[in-house]
């Protein structure tokens, strides 16, 4: 599993990305969720999600008040599946940022947030 931290200074937002997790990473990922304020019921549900294996699985939790997100991307042998899951989960982060700043999700600003997240995650992966 690879950890990548992204800071979006413009929005004072931190994104912790965990890419390529498998079921053995479940406890670590749940601890990360709890450190940003994820409640026990949601963390238990996430644990069950994580132990199910990582193939084509992702999960995102954001603490909008504290402007921090945890993004998890399960391991997959297919790069296209990983790209799909990364895009899916980063869209959740984009929506959470837009919610916090009252940004229209159908506008250009939301697209720029998504684009920056994608660019930053892929620069760190290659």
- 40 Cβ contact list (under 8 Å, min separation 6): none
Distance CA 29, CA 108 (A): 32
φ, ψ for residue 22, nearest 5 deg: -135, 180
Q: Count up the domains in the chain and report the number.
A: 1
Q: Domain span at residue 28? A: 2-125
Low-confidence ranges of the chain (pLDDT < 50): none
**pLDDT the model gives residue 123:** 79
Q: How far is CA 9 from CA 13, 44, 89, 97, in A?
A: 7, 31, 20, 12
Q: Give residue 124's pLDDT.
A: 60
- The pLDDT, as a whole number, for residue 55 is 66
In contact, 25 and 50? CB cutoff 8 Å: yes
Q: For the chain, what is the mean pLDDT?
A: 93
């Amino acid at each position: 599993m690879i950890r990548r931290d992204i800071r979006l200074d413009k929005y004072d937002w931190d994104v912790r990305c965990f890419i390529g997790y498998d079921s053995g990473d479940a406890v670590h990922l749940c601890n990360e969720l709890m450190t940003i304020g994820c409640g026990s019921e949601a963390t238990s549900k996430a644990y069950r999600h994580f132990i199910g294996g990582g193939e084509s699985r992702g999960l995102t939790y954001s603490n909008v008040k504290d402007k921090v997100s945890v993004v998890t991307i399960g391991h997959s042998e297919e790069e296209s599946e990983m790209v799909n899951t990364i895009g899916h989960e980063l869209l959740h982060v984009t929506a959470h940022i837009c919610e916090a700043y009252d940004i229209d999700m159908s506008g250009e600003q939301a697209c720029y947030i998504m684009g920056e997240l994608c660019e930053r995650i892929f620069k760190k992966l290659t």
